[in-house]
Chain A
Amino acid sequence: MMRDVPVDALQAALATEHAAVWVYGLAGAFLPDELVGQLRQAAGAHQARRDATERTLIDAGAQPVPAEPGYLMPEPVTDAASALRLLIIAETDTAAAWRSVLERSPAEPIQRTAALDALTQAAVRATRWRAVAGITPLTVPFPGTP
């Protein structure tokens, strides 16, 4: 079924979801056991979002972008602190990508609901990781903007 969907913005969002899934896999190795629950929940959310976005793109007649074999890290991950910083970057990137989907979306409620949800959840997860890492301020006024 063809729908009026912002394919390019969705592809960019999918790419950040692929990256987030990868990052969570890497970061998990460096985080203490008590964070495993929070980590798994977040990773699962990204996987679900990735799958749903792929379905949306396929429904729109587009070929979903694949995951990269690996991703360039802004800094080497060597301990819990650097792993947490990487998670925050991944969430910040997904928030920005989903906000872009909203900026390009026609007023189609399904698209907007998904993008708003994804942006909100990414912002909340980034905030929770900042709290764990002791990074302040915990929040940003406009998640998804530079």
Chain B
Amino acid sequence: MPGPHHSRRRLLGAGAALLVAGPTVLAGCAEPAPVAPEEPDPLEQPARRAESDSVLAQAVAQIAAEITSQAPGQTQPALVTAATALAADRMAHASTLRTELRRARPVTVPSNTAPSAPPTLAPPLAVADLPSARAALLQAVQAAQEEAAGLVMTLPSYRAALLASVAACCASHAAVLP
């Protein structure tokens, strides 16, 4: 991959991170937490990743749609469809993982760690090209698959099965990303 692609991809990733920075910082878990009253729930990280992936995928869908509309000769609505579907699946993951988190620790999980609605999307990114947008998505789902698969090995069986489904879903998206 040539240099420009790489830097744009990073830009896109950074933009998406900014989008979710609000709720994450509010939750107070962004820093290494010097004083932790108890171990964080191991589902916290995949839940947060699912939320941020969903926001990223929505942003990519929007960007891809804009790029496509600006260049009518260049048709790639497939990436819009794929990114939209990924956003929906990752949102479903986030919701189910949050439910399990609340079930496990009803008191210690404050409600503001679960943003009730995704942040509104004013596309903040200097428009990236389609290959960069695609690369950002692929990187995200592959990382999510890896994280979930790792947790399958250590968690209790109910949670292991849940994370296995998450990993399988992410692998499916990676396999057919246009």
Q: Are A127 and B92 in contact (CB under 8 A)?
A: no
Let me know if B96 is at the binding interface, CB within 8 A: yes
State whether A103 and B157 are in contact (beta carbons under 8 Å apart), knowing that A137-B85, A138-B176 are contacts in the complex.
yes
Q: Are A123 and B161 in contact (CB under 8 A)?
A: no
Query: Looking at the complex, which one of A106, A136, A140 makes contact with B169 (CB distance below 8 Å)?
Result: A140
A 96-126 to B, binary, CB cutoff 8 A, 1 in contact else 0: 0001101111110100110110011011101
Let me know if B172 is at the binding interface, CB within 8 A: yes
Q: Which residues of A contact B167 (CB under 8 A)?
A: 116, 120
Interface residue count for B (Cβ, 8 Å)? 31
State whether A143 and B157 are in contact (beta carbons under 8 Å apart), knowing that A102-B164, A119-B165 are contacts in the complex.
no
Let me know if B25 is at the binding interface, CB within 8 A: no
Q: How many angstroms from the CA of A141 to the CA of B168 in the assembled complex? A: 9
Give chain A's interface residue range (CB within 8 Å of chain B): 20 to 34
Query: Looking at the complex, which one of A116, A122, A141, A145 makes contact with B149 (CB distance below 8 Å)?
Result: A116
Let me know if B29 is at the binding interface, CB within 8 A: no
Q: Residues of B with Cβ closer than 8 Å to A?
A: 81-82, 85-86, 88-89, 92-93, 96, 145, 149, 152-154, 156-158, 160-162, 164-169, 171-173, 175-176
